[in-house]
Chains A and B, each alone.
Chain A
Amino acid sequence: MTLLRKFLLRLITTAVTLFGVAVIVFIVIRVVPGNPIAMMLPPGATDADIARLQAQYGFDKSIFEQFLIWLGGVMQGDFGQSISLRQPVSSLVLGRLPATLELSVVALMIAVVMGGALALLGTLYRGTRTEGAVDISAGMALSIPDFLWGLVLILLFGVLWPVFHISGRISPALNTDFATNFYLFEAILRLKFDVVADLIAHMFMPALALAIPLAAIIAQLLKQSLKETMHLDYVTLARTKGYNENHIITREALPNAILPTLTLVGVQFTFLIGGTVIIERLFSYEGLGNMAIDAVINRDLPLIQGIVILFALLFTLVNLVVDMLYAVLNPRLRHA
Chain B
Amino acid sequence: MKLSRRSLLKTSAAATSLALAGLPSFAQAIDELVIAYNVNLPSWDPTVGLSGVNPTIQGFYQSVFDLYIPQNPDLSFGSGIITDYGWSDDNKSIWMDVREGVTWHNGDPLTAEDVAWSLARVGNPETGSPIQFIWGKITNIKADGNRVTADMPEYEPTFFKWMSFLTGYVMPKKYYEEVGADGFEAAPIGSGPYMVEKFERNAFVRLKANENYWGGAPEFKTVTIKFVTDAASRVAEVESGNSHVTLEIPYEEFDRLKAKDGLAGVAEPVSDIAMIFINDIEVMTDPNVRKAAAHAIDKQLIIDRLLSGYGVPIDTMQTPDYLAYDDSIKVPYDPELAKQLLADSGYSPENPVKFKIQTTKGFKPKDYEMVQAIVGLWRRVGIEAEIEVYEIAKHFELRAADQLAPAAFYNWGNSVGDPTTSTGFAMFGPSPHSVWDGKETFEAILPLWGEADEAKRIAGWKEVDRRVAENAEVIPLMQYVQPIVHAAGVKVTPHRSGALLPHLMTRS
Residue positions of A touching B, CB distance < 8 A? 33-46, 49-50, 52, 56, 83-87, 96, 151, 154-155, 158-159, 162-163, 165-173, 191, 193-194, 196-198, 200-201, 281-284, 286, 290-291, 293-294, 297-299
For A85, list chain B residues within 8 Å (CB). 42-43, 201
Distance in angstroms from B129 CB to nearest chain A CB is 9
Please measure, in the bound complex, the distance between the C-alpha atom of A257 and the C-alpha atom of B293, giving whole angstroms.
67
Does B461 interact with chain A (Cβ within 8 Å)? no
The residue on A at minimum CB distance from B43 is: A86
CA of A56 to CA of B433, assembled, Å: 21
- A-side contacts of B128, CB under 8 Å: 56
Contacting pair A290 B19 (CB below 8 A): no
- Whole-angstrom distance between the Cβ of B429 and the nearest chain A Cβ: 13
Query: Which B residues touch A86, using CB under 8 A?
Result: 42-43, 45, 48-49, 181, 185
List chain A residues, Cβ under 8 A from B200: 169-170, 172, 286
Contacts of B20-74 to chain A: CB distance below 8 A: 20, 22-23, 25, 32, 36, 40, 42-43, 45, 48-51, 53
The answer to whether A41 touches B230, judged by C-beta atoms less than 8 angstroms apart, is: no
Contact status A284-B45, CB under 8 Å: no
Question: Once the chains bind, are B425 and A41 in contact (CB under 8 Å)?
Answer: no
Among B43, B185, B242, B398, which residue has the most Cβ atoms of chain A within 10 A? Answer: B242
Is A43 within 8 A of B421, CB to CB?
yes
Measured between beta carbons, the chain B residues less than 8 angstroms from A166 are 228, 233, 236-237, 240, 242
**CA separation between A162 and B425, bound complex, in Å?**
48
Chain B contacts for A87, CB-based, 8 A:
185
| Contact stretch, chosen from B108-116, B274-282, B385-393, B492-500 | B385-393
Q: Could you give, for residues 229-258 of chain B, a 1 whenever the CB lies within 8 Å of some chain A CB and a 0 otherwise?
A: 110110011011110000000000000000
CB of A310 to closest CB in B, whole Å: 16
Set B394, B399, B421: member contacting A33, Cβ < 8 A: B394
Q: Does B204 contact A (CB under 8 A)?
A: yes
| Interface: B1 (CB within 8 A) | yes
Query: In this complex, what residue of B is CB-closest to A167?
Result: B228
Q: Which B residues are in CB contact (< 8 Å) with A286?
A: 200-203
Q: Are A167 and B233 in contact (CB-based, < 8 A)?
A: yes
B12 contacts the other chain (CB 8 A): yes
User: Does residue B400 face the partner (Cβ distance < 8 Å to A)?
Assistant: yes
A309 to chain B, nearest CB (A): 19
* Contact, CB under 8 Å: B399 / A38: yes
Known: A40-B50, A41-B432, A191-B3. A50 touches B19 (CB 8 A): no
Cα–Cα distance between A195 and B125 once the two chains are bound (Å): 47
How far apart sit A162 and B226, CA to CA, in the bound complex (Å)?
18
Chain A residue at smallest Cβ distance from B394: A33
Within the complex, the shortest CB–CB distance from A153 to chain B, in Å, comes to 10
Output the nearest chain A residue to B234 by Cβ-Cβ distance. A167
Task: Give the interface centre of A39, A171, A198 by most chain B CB atoms within 10 Å.
Answer: A39
B11 touches which one: A44, A170, A193 (CB < 8 A)? A193
Closest CB-CB distance, A150 to chain B, in whole Å? 9
Nearest chain-A residue to B426 (Cβ)? A43
Q: Is the CB of B203 within 8 A of A284?
A: yes
What is the bound-complex CA distance between A31 and B97, given in angstroms? 50
Given contacts A84-B51, A151-B232, A159-B240, contact A173 B32 (CB under 8 A): yes
CA distance in complex: A201, B20 (Å): 8
Kindly state whether residue B173 has any CB partner on chain A within 8 Å: no
Find out whether the CB atom of B49 lies under 8 angstroms from the CB atom of A196.
no
CB <8 Å contact, B19 and A194:
yes
Q: Quick check: which of B77-85, B130-138, B435-443 contacts chain A, the rest being far away?
A: B130-138
Whether the pair A45, B240 counts as a contact (CB closer than 8 A) is: no
A154 CB, nearest partner CB in chain B, Å: 5
A155, B362: Cα distance in complex, Å: 22
Instruction: Determine how close the nearest CB of chain A comes to the CB of B228; give it in whole angstroms.
Output: 5
16 contacts between A and B (CB under 8 A): A34-B393, A36-B50, A38-B396, A39-B392, A41-B400, A45-B133, A49-B132, A83-B49, A84-B49, A162-B240, A167-B226, A167-B242, A173-B32, A197-B19, A283-B233, A294-B202
A33: chain B residues within 8 A (beta carbon): 390-391, 393-394, 397-398
Task: Determine whether B139 belongs to the interface, using a CB cutoff of 8 Å to chain A.
Answer: no
**Besides the known contacts A36-B50, A167-B233, 7 further A-B residue pairs in the complex with CB atoms under 8 A apart:** A49-B132, A84-B42, A84-B49, A172-B200, A191-B1, A196-B15, A286-B203
A324 to B36, CA, bound (A): 45
Closest Cβ neighbor of B227 among chain A residues: A284
From known contacts A284-B226, A286-B202, infer whether A158 and B396 are also in contact, taking CB-CB under 8 Å. no
Could you tell me if B241 and A193 are in contact, using CB atoms closer than 8 angstroms? no
Nearest Cβ in chain B — how far from A195, in angstroms?
8
Q: Identify the 8 closest CB pairs spanning chains A and B, nearest first.
A: A34-B393, A197-B15, A43-B425, A38-B396, A44-B133, A286-B203, A35-B397, A38-B400
Residue B288 is within 8 A (CB to CB) of chain A in the complex: no
Q: Which residues of A contact B181 (CB under 8 A)?
A: 86
Counting CB contacts under 8 A, is B506 at the interface? no
Pick the most buried of A38, A201, A297: most chain B CB atoms within 10 A of its CB.
A38
Residues in chain A near residue B224, CB distance under 8 A: 172-173
B103: CB under 8 A from chain A? no
Q: Tell whether, in the assembled complex, residue B131 and residue A42 are in contact, meaning their CB atoms are under 8 Å apart.
A: yes
Report the Cα distance A283→B228, complex, angstroms: 8
B42 x A168 contact (CB < 8 A): no
In the complex the two chains form, what is the Cα distance from A43 to B20 in whole Å?
49
Give CA–CA (A195, B396) in the complex, Å.
Answer: 44
* Choice from A52, A83, A194 contacting B125 with Cβ under 8 Å: A52
Residues on B with beta carbons closer than 8 Å to the beta carbon of A291: 202
A282 touches B233 (CB 8 A): yes
Which residues of the other chain, B, contact A297 by a CB distance below 8 angstroms?
391-393
Residue in B1, B201, B226 whose CB lies within 8 Å of A172:
B226
